[in-house]
Structure formats: C-alpha cells, structure tokens
Amino acid sequence: MARKHSKGGWREDDEAEAAEAAPPPPCWLCGRPCGTTVVWHHPVPKSRGGRDTVPMHAICQNTLITNFTNSELQRAGMDVDVLLANPAVRKFVDWVANKDPDFNASIAKKGR
C-alpha cells in the first residue's frame, strides 16, 4: 500500500491505488462496509437543518425512513444507539448482518 517510488510519477501511482484500494466506509447503522453504492444520509433531516452526513446502505436508510418520523430522526440526531434501540431496527440490523454489502431487498419497490 505505502510503496513509493523515489523518482517522479509516484503521485500518479498513489492516486490510482487510492481510487482502487479505498475501502468502502462502514455503514452508520449496521456497521458493515458499504457496497458499491454509498448513500450519504442526513441523521438530522435536511428539512430540519441537518448538515452532517453519514455513509449508509440504501437498504439501511430505507429502514430508518420507514421506522422513524423526521421528528424522531431529528431527536436522535447523530446518536445511532437511539435508533438501534428500536426493536424493528435492531431486528433489521441483525438480519442484514450476514447479507452481501450490495444486497438491497426490493422493499422500496413494492406496491406498484
């Protein structure tokens, strides 16, 4: 990883490697590495003045949106433990723990 060339050109190499080897950030909710798609979620909804974002799986963000109102999300803020204390979320995280990082159930697509 940290190999450097003493001559010119190391910078290019570094960039290429960084792009390729950058590990996906861990999901804020379930703690697994994010897959190819990283959703930048606002723990405090944007409409409530939230500015911070955290990396999440789409499916995990969906779980939050399904189980909490904006007011509840605002109250929990950056404290993911509050969200994990919700039995439905806890159950989801335990369930999704063994899934592929790119796994995305069609929960958002049902009912058309």
Binding mask 10-49 for Zn ion (x = CB under 5 A): -----------------x-xx-------------------
- Concatenating the DSSP letter of every residue in 17-44 gives HHHHHPPPPBPTTT-SBP-S--EEE-SS
50 or 101: CB nearest Zn ion: 101
User: Which sign, positive or negative, has the C-alpha torsion 60, 62, 65, 66?
Assistant: negative
- Letter for the amino acid at 100? D
Q: Residue from 43, 44, 54, 57 that binds Zn ion (CB under 5 A)?
A: 57
44 or 57: CB nearest Zn ion: 57
Query: How many residues in the shown chain lie near Zn ion by CB under 5 A?
Result: 5
Please give the residue whose beta carbon sits closest to Zn ion in the complex.
Answer: 27
Binding status of residue 93 toward Zn ion by CB under 5 A: no
Whether 44 and 52 have beta carbons less than 8 Å apart is answered as yes
44 or 60: CB nearest Zn ion: 60
Q: What gap in Å lies between CA 43 and CA 53, rounded to an integer?
A: 7
